[in-house]
Amino acid sequence: MRTSGNYALIPARGGSKGIPGKNVRLLSGHPVIAYSIMAAKLCSQIDRVIVSTESQDIADIATAYGADVPFLRPVELAQDLSPAIDYVTHTLEALALSERVHPELLTLLLPTTPLRLTGALDAAIDGFRRNSEATGLRSAHELAEPPQKMMRVEEGYLSGFFPDDPRPEYYNLPRQTFPPAYHPNGYIEMMRSASIIETGTLYGPKVMPYITEPAVELDAPQDFDFLEFTIDRHPHPLIEHLDRLTRGSTKDGGL
């Protein structure tokens, strides 16, 4: 078994319910998954780009944009409630079985956060590599409101999520009263393969933060409209590379 560098892993199942066909829906002329593939290929610290999918259609699109799809994910690991650890473990086991390779690091890039800067990816990966105590890394951005300000409906009435807080109506206190809270956003996540195998968890006990600007995640149809508007106003560097790839491949008879 040989150990081999840092592999990007892009999960893209075909059965999204919230936004059907989300991973291959066109965003500014390119499938959503193409953005994550291109960002990974442009990143100097990523050695290989693998897409995990159960869909042959997604696999074909991913391959056309330059990713490897060395195997399909079993359908039972691509359900609505399938945890991420399942497809990550499947990828590691399949690579070990078919190629006798064991990547040292996995860099997880979720297609639903398509707009990334490769310089930010390089910085996150470099920081993680320098921190030998960190067992994982997750990107996140600061929330405008801390979770203590959130409300739920309980038996028909609004109530807070922290009933053990002794302060009366703590949820009405100024947000500055509470520590900053962060939302993991899928911009980049990293894990050590050895830690996954040893602990059976993705990130392990010491998860290093990588703080980003607020990142738009594609969870609802209106998110596409917002991203299209954003791209129209401020063209993203990835699109130039995707356009160039598409033009070149079209001339050669592909894509």
Inform me whether the pLDDT recorded for 220 exceeds 70: yes
pLDDT confidence bin for 17, thresholds 50/70/90: low
Q: What does the pLDDT look like over 235-245, one tens digit per residue?
A: 899 999 999 99
Q: What does the pLDDT look like over 84-119, one tens digit per residue?
A: 999 999 999 999 999 999 899 999 999 999 999 999
Choose among 86, 74, 63: nearest CA to 14.
74
Q: What does the pLDDT look like over 127-147, one tens digit per residue?
A: 999 999 999 999 999 999 999
**Cα angle value 179/185/190 (rounded, 5°):** 100
pLDDT confidence bin for 249, thresholds 50/70/90: low
Top pLDDT among 203 and 246 is at 203
Angstrom CA distances, 145 to 71, 135, 150, stand at: 42, 28, 8
Confidence at residue 80, expressed as pLDDT on a 0 to 100 scale: 84
pLDDT confidence bin for 254, thresholds 50/70/90: low
CA 25 to chain centre: 17
Mean pLDDT of the chain: 92
N- to C-terminal Cα distance for the chain?
A: 35
> Average pLDDT of 216-242?
91
Choose among 23, 10, 82, 90: nearest CA to 58.
23
One-letter amino acid for residue 87 of the chain: Y
CA pair distance 174, 106, nearest whole angstrom: 40
Confidence at residue 255, expressed as pLDDT on a 0 to 100 scale: 60
Q: For tokens 């980049």, what's the residue?
A: 188
Inform me whether the pLDDT recorded for 231 exceeds 60: yes
Inform me whether the pLDDT recorded for 251 exceeds 60: no
Confidence at residue 21, expressed as pLDDT on a 0 to 100 scale: 86
Q: What does the pLDDT look like over 41-91, one tens digit per residue?
A: 999 999 999 999 999 999 999 999 999 999 999 999 888 888 999 999 999
Q: What does the pLDDT look like over 147-196, one tens digit per residue?
A: 999 999 999 999 999 999 999 999 999 999 999 999 999 999 999 999 99
Confidence at residue 164, expressed as pLDDT on a 0 to 100 scale: 95
Percent of the chain with pLDDT over 70: 95
Domains observed in the chain: 2-141+182-251 (3.90.550.10), 144-179 (no CATH)
